[in-house]
Structures are given as structure tokens and as C-alpha cells.
Amino acid sequence: MLTFRRPFLAVLAVIPLVAGCATIGHGDRQRLVRLFADLRQAPRKEPVIIIPGALGSILEDTETGRVAWGRMGGRGLEALALPIDHETLRDNHDAIVAVNVLRRMAVIPGLIEFKANEDLIRVLQEAGGYDKGDLEHPRPGDNCFLFWYDWRRDLVEAAQQLGAMIERLAREMGDPNLKVHLIAQSAGGLVARYYVKYGTADVLDQEPLPAPTYAGAKHVAQVIMLGTPNNGSLETFQSLHQGFTVPNMGRFSPAMVFTMPAAYQLLPHEEQTVFLDGHGRPLEVNLYDPANWEIYGWSVFGPERLTTSQQHLAQQRRFLSLALRRAKRFQRALDTGNPADDPVEYALLGSDCQPTSRRALLEKDGSVWRTRFRSDDRGLTAKLFGLGDGSVTKESLLGSHRTGISQSDLVFSTLHVANAVFVCESHLQLTQNLTALDNLLHALLVHETTAQHHAICLYCQRRFGALNAKPVTDSAEREGTGTSSQPSYREGS
């Protein structure tokens, strides 16, 4: 089985590389088919829309007709760098557009493949009884749709495109009150959250930020998130600083990632302590201050990379300032409002057993600052890493600014969480995890038939016994705070 040399920008890359049995097999899908046989017979299903994470949409160059991203052995990835010379981020357009959702890419067909959304789509069809259709040309009976977007660009643009597609779907189906279920992977969950709160309005330049209108909630029955970095991911910053490589496809240099507004919107939340000194003590270094990027030599401002002209340097500085401001406003817009006022519930599927980067070291080497993401010191390592799916920490998925939050105590979450389910899996493999897919189907089908969805792992419960699907509770902590929260469930051990 091929493996990555190191965890690269997994929140920007929902492309698990699997070989043979590493993916969900026919037998596992048939188990799910049998488990959901009764629920699958419901006469009507509210439509499902799959929103991939970044790198999960195929991009095509409209000038050449060639695939710019989404094909094995592709070359010329440098073409994915966006222009940065316009006055606004929205005006920094090129000829590349999203044309489809990435389902799979084969190195050796049937043996070594990149599996992105293939298993998820097949499980929805075979076990859930959904019929895949085209969002632009829906047919009667279609109830499973794929949404694609240019994952390089501002995520507000993606939310606006999603809203336009849902409105079109409502018109085509003749149902102005149409409700859809959004299955959002990784960064796609942030697109879904923004759409629910603000619809197709761009509020990021309004001062002060307006209260959420929940304009998108009219058309959303629920949002199911898989590994969404609701409080950002340190791996995003690492990729902005160091770049990353996708095997058999090419390298994304720091200069390329630097031009992509979406990357900044996935940075760790401004309230998080991101940096430590060499002794493990927290540093008050603001990641959203453009001046710090030059002081500490991050991304294109590293001393070994500063070979650009003064004109281009001025463009980089202006672009960075715009991108960081939009990113900070994007996070604040998602935080605005009381989660209890959100008419849409969120079901969270993730992992909490993998070492996951959450902090970085800042150390001075002579006159130059060095940023390190690993340490040979065991004590420092414990401070640099938390638990999550290897890319997104548990706290980030839960939308909590509090470190060490129990998944059963969601009082600190910025989301209206209905259920949180944790399996032991990597970020890239969540869409191939049988337990996660079982819970996803349960959330979808039970929500529709009973208007409630307690995402208990049916597969684990029936195969291993009810006691293996235990509610994770922390009664002492809840008694101490005087609050109550719904229990969440995880895979039995």
C-alpha cells in the first residue's frame, strides 16, 4: 500500500490513497444494505447533497480544455496559483473552473487508487436507496446530488454557488419549501455552515458583522459533517508555510498555496494559542497580523524565498492583508449568534484517536526565526499534538474553543450539535469507515422517518452487543457547570 511521506494538508485534501482491501468492500456494503432494508423502503426521501472538501472537486482550464486538477500523473500544477494583483480577492480570477466532484483516480485500476467520494456515493445508492442525479438537470425521483466548487477560492463564493444550486433544484422540483440534507466533508462543512447562517449574502465586509439571518436554513433539513475543521487546522498553516506534495500528482509549493483564499479560512481560530517557545511556553503571536508573516518568515516571506521584485512584494503584502482579514471575518461570522437559535442541527462524524497537530514551535536561530511542527522532546511533543483524526482535532470538529472538551459536554460548542460520533480513523479515511457510514445512513434515514436522529452505531450494536455502543458522559463535569447536554456515541472498543 502506498503511503504519504508525512501528513500533508489533509483538510484541503480529501483524497485517501487506498490499495485493495483498504477501502470498504462489497461485503461491508451488503451489511449496510441489510441493516437499512426497512428504512430504505420509505416512499419519499428528501434530497441529499454531497459537498466535498478542498481538492475534492475536479478543476478544468477553460482555455485549454485540460484537467488542471483531478487526474493522475498530471503536470503543470503551478497553473493552479491564482492571480493576486487585483484590489479584491473576488477579482483575482483565472480561466480554471470546477467541473465535477472527484470520485476516484486510478494508479493501477482496481489495485491502487485514490478514492475520494466513490464509497460514500455507492453506499448512499445501495444501502440508502438514493438515486444520483444532476443538480443542473434533476429528473423525477433523483434525490442524491453532487456539488462542486473551486476549492482555491473564498469559501463564501462556494456558499453562494451552493445556494443558487439549491434554489434551482427547488424550482425544478416544483417545491419552493424543498428541504435538503447536506453531507459535508472537511472544508465543505464550513461552506454549509455559512450558507445556513447567511444564505447567498456576503456579509464579511459589513461593519459590524450582522446577526445571522439563517436564510439558508429554509432549505436545509440537517448538516452532517465528516472531519470538518470548525476551529481550523494547524496543518493548513503548515502547508501555507512549507507547501505539500500529493504522490503521483505533484507538489503544491508555498507560493502556490499562498494565492488561495480558502487556505486562510481554514487556519486555526484566532482565539487559539498556536505558538510555543522552545521551552513549551505559550507565545502571544497573532497569526492574523500580516506583519508577523514577515517577522517570522512564514510562507513566501521566508529569507530563502525573498527574491522577488519590490512590486511583487507589495502585491504579496496587499493580498496577504486582504486574505487574513477575510479569513478572520469568516470565522467571526460563523461564530456569531447563539447556537440554540440555529434552526438546523449538525451531526458530527470524526475521530479522536490520532495524534493531531495543534501548536507549533517558534525559536530564534541567530537573526532568523524558525517555525517547527515537531520535536524530539517528549514533553514538547505532548504540547504540540492533541487528539483528533490526524488533521482535525476533536475540539475543532466540535467547534469548541476549550481544549480538552468532552464530546458529551457540548456547552462550549459554537454549533447546534445534535449528535457527535467518534470512530478511530484517519481524516482521509472517514468516508471509507464502515462505522462512520453506518451512522451517516442512520442520521439520514431516521431523521426523515421519525424527525429524530440519535446516531447510535447500529452495526456495532447488532454485531457486538448493545453495551459496546456506550454513551460517553461526564456527569461530574456537567453537574459542576449546571448544564446538560445530549450524549454522543462512539464506536465500541
Task: From residue 172, give the alpha-carbon distance in Å to each of 30, 100, 393.
Answer: 33, 20, 40
CB-CB contact of 405 with 394 (8 Å): yes
Is the model more confident about 4 or about 31? 31
| pLDDT at residue number 491 | 44
Burial class (CB in 10 A: 0-12, 13-18, 19+), 248: middle
Using the predicted structure, report yes or no on whether residue 327 has a pLDDT greater than 60. Answer: yes
**394-427 pLDDT per residue, tens:** 999 999 866 655 555 566 788 999 999 999 999 9
| pLDDT at residue number 307 | 67
**283-305 pLDDT per residue, tens:** 999 999 999 999 999 999 988 76
Q: How far apart are CA 377 and CA 385, in angstroms?
A: 12
Tell me: cis bond preceding 43? Omega within 30 of 0 counts. no
| pLDDT at residue number 54 | 86
What percent of the chain clears pLDDT 70, i.e. is strictly above it?
Answer: 80
**425-458 pLDDT per residue, tens:** 999 889 989 999 999 999 999 877 654 334 344 4
Q: How far apart are CA 73 and CA 283, in angstroms?
A: 42
Question: Please, which residues have CB within 8 angstroms of residue 320's CB and are 6 or more apart in sequence?
Answer: 258, 290, 293
| pLDDT at residue number 141 | 84
Work out the pLDDT band at 113, boundaries 50, 70, 90: low
Q: How far apart are CA 123 and CA 245, in angstroms?
A: 30
**340-361 pLDDT per residue, tens:** 999 999 999 999 999 999 999 9
| pLDDT at residue number 106 | 53
| pLDDT at residue number 36 | 92
**368-393 pLDDT per residue, tens:** 999 999 999 999 999 999 999 999 99
Is the model more confident about 24 or about 205? 205
| pLDDT at residue number 471 | 37
The CATH superfamily label for domain 10-258+337-354+391-490 reads Alpha/Beta hydrolase fold, catalytic domain (3.40.50.1820)
Domain boundary assignment for the chain? 10-258+337-354+391-490
Q: Which three cell numbers stand for residue 218?
A: 429554509
Using the predicted structure, report yes or no on whether residue 52 has a pLDDT greater than 70. Answer: yes
| pLDDT at residue number 114 | 57
Using the predicted structure, report yes or no on whether residue 311 has a pLDDT greater than 80. Answer: yes
Q: Which of 306-310, 433-437, 483-487 is least confident?
A: 483-487
| pLDDT at residue number 42 | 76
Please compute the mean of the pLDDT values over residues 130-146 and round it to a whole number: 90
| pLDDT at residue number 467 | 33
Long-range contacts of 243-250 (CB under 8 A, 24+ apart): 244/8, 244/9, 244/13, 245/5, 245/8, 246/8, 246/13, 246/15, 246/55, 247/2, 247/4, 247/17, 248/72, 248/73, 248/107, 249/72, 249/73, 249/74, 249/77, 250/74, 250/75, 250/77
Q: Which three cell numbers stand for residue 196?
A: 445556513
Is the model more confident about 78 or about 216? 216
Using the predicted structure, report yes or no on whether residue 214 has a pLDDT greater than 70. Answer: yes
- pTM to 2 decimal places: 0.87
Using the predicted structure, report yes or no on whether residue 3 has a pLDDT greater than 50. Answer: no
DSSP-derived 3-state class of residue 194: helix
Q: How far apart are CA 147 and CA 79, in angstroms?
A: 23
Residue with cell 483575482: 92
Query: At 353, which amino acid appears?
Result: C
H/E stretch holding 146 reads: strand 144-146
Residue with cell 424543498: 178
Q: Which of 12-16, 131-135, 287-291, 303-307 is least confident?
A: 12-16
Q: Which of 90-99, 222-231, 386-395, 440-449 is least confident?
A: 440-449
Q: Which three cell numbers stand for residue 138?
A: 434533476
| pLDDT at residue number 45 | 80
H/E stretch holding 27 reads: helix 26-35
